[in-house]
Chains A and B, each alone.
Chain A
Amino acid sequence: MGMIRVQEICGAGDTGPQGEQLYNAILSELAQHDQIAISFAGIDTATSSFVNASLFRLLSNISLDEIKRRVKIIDSSRQINDMIKRRLTREATVAA
């Protein structure tokens, strides 16, 4: 399983450009591994801009079901979890 440490990739989860850095890292890691873990250790919060530009943008590459199967979120705060679910799961539900 591949591993991405958000703090090493982009330092924080505050902005769209930081999210784009994570998005590129995720694409690279998914190209090499069937499953990856994204660790938010050291990251306290994630804005919608950050999640939009990183994980939400993945929906243009792979389906939500495939994201759920291949991407594991670890070491994350309640706020980060809520923002990711809000942007991905609920958005996909609305779109359906």
Chain B
Amino acid sequence: MINFSQLGFIKPAGVTFLSNLILWLKSRNVDVRFDGHTGNTPALRFLDDSLFFQQHLGYPLNDRACVRSTTLPLMNVHHQDSFAWVRSTLVPWLSSALNVSRPSLYTFQTCVSELFNNIKDHSSREIGSVFAQHFPNINRVGIAVADFGRGIPASVRSVHPDLSDNEAIKRAVQANFTIRSTPGNQGVGLDYLLQSAVTNNGGAVTIYSSTGAVLFEPSGTGIGTNELPHVGFCPGATIDMWLRTDTIQDLDEEPEVFEWE
């Protein structure tokens, strides 16, 4: 039973996390029921407008529930459809919300694609739950991607069995770290994400997996890490990108001349 009566606020990562948890439980034949969700609180209206209840109950709580212009509603996207979804749905929505050209968002388009490639490489179920929310009053956009995999700590501990959950997450983001090297997978996708979202954009990324949760944020000229305490259990992994919208350059469509350094 999931009780919503105490829910006061929910972030983008919370929407994908909760949705993913429900799907994960259902995949294990757990009878998942909701309680305390019939109130009229802002958090419940937000979830309803995000199509959360539509997805999990088959209907919205309120007939007037509709997707807000600042919201990209909750979606479950299969790896084989993910790149088309990123190009045809995520980037046009971001471009419109932030009033910047699509080329301005190519880096973040790639970051999300990297996450779907990670899901393909490390998860037995190649599906990611995605949700995004624009917060124009604080110049931020949150993009959260969650998967059903066995989780980062379990994967990392197959080669480093002594690492804690948080240590495993920190190891997983290091450039060139991978447990399954293939021509395509060289262990740089998460490093690219952090360099793009934290170092270059000035935003933050939080990775939740198993009982671990690590916040990566700007620190001096590099990336600082903070282990978040008491976050509970996260099946698979949830990646929470928190991007600054005021540092995104509006780029033109012209190709850039390539020169070897």
Asked whether B110 lies within 8 Å of A45 as measured between CB atoms, the reply is yes
Nearest-neighbour CB distance to chain B for A1, whole angstroms, equals: 15
- Give the residues in chain B near A81, CB-CB below 8 Å: 256, 258
Secondary structure type dominating chain A contacts: helix
Tell me, rounded to whole Å, the shortest Cβ–Cβ distance linking B101 to chain A.
Answer: 11
Q: Quick check: A78 and B192 within 8 Å, CB to CB?
A: no
Please, which residues of chain A bring their CB within 8 A of the CB of B183? 16, 19-20, 23, 52-53, 57
Is B260 touching A68 in the complex (CB atoms < 8 A)? yes
Which of A41, A48, A73 has the most chain B CB atoms inside 10 A of its CB? A48
Give the contacting residue for B102; candidates A40, A44, A50; CB below 8 A.
A44
Check A14 against B113 for contact (C-beta < 8 Å): yes
The CA of A17 and the CA of B183, in the complex, are separated in Å by: 9
Residue B83, interface by CB 8 Å: yes
- Bitwise, A8-27 to B at CB < 8 A (1) or not (0) is 00001011110110010000
CA–CA, A12 and B117, complex, Å = 14
Most buried by A among B106, B120, B255, B258: B258
Contact B182 A48 (CB under 8 A): no
Is there an interface contact between B261 and A85, defined as CB atoms closer than 8 Å?
Answer: yes
- Contact partners of A35 in chain B: CB under 8 A: none
| Total B residues in contact with A, Cβ cutoff 8 Å | 26
Contacts A16-B184, A76-B258, A77-B255 given; does A48 touch B189 at CB 8 Å: yes
Give complex CA distance A68, B260 in Å.
Answer: 7
Residues of B within 8 A of A46 (CB): 110
The CA-CA distance from A76 to B185 in the complex, in Å, is: 22
**CB of B107 within 8 Å of the partner chain:** yes
Contacts of A33 in B (CB 8 A): none
Chain B residues in 8 Å Cβ range of A78: 103, 106, 251, 256
Residues of B within 8 A of A14 (CB): 83, 113, 117
Given A20-B184, A78-B106, CB of A48 within 8 Å of CB of B255: no
When the two chains form their complex, are residues B109 and A45 in contact, meaning their CB atoms are under 8 A apart?
A: yes
Min distance, Cβ A73 to any Cβ of chain B, angstroms? 4
Enumerate 10 A-B pairs (CB-CB under 8 Å) in ascending A order. A16-B185, A17-B184, A20-B183, A23-B183, A68-B260, A77-B103, A77-B256, A83-B192, A86-B192, A89-B261
Residues of A within 8 A of B (CB): 12, 14-17, 19-20, 23, 40-41, 44-50, 52-53, 56-57, 68, 72-79, 81-87, 89
Q: A48-B188, A57-B183 are in contact. List 9 more A-B contacts (CB 8 A).
A: A15-B83, A16-B182, A19-B183, A44-B109, A48-B117, A56-B186, A78-B106, A78-B256, A79-B110
Identify the 5 closest CB pairs spanning chains A and B, nearest first: A16-B184, A49-B184, A79-B106, A73-B258, A53-B183
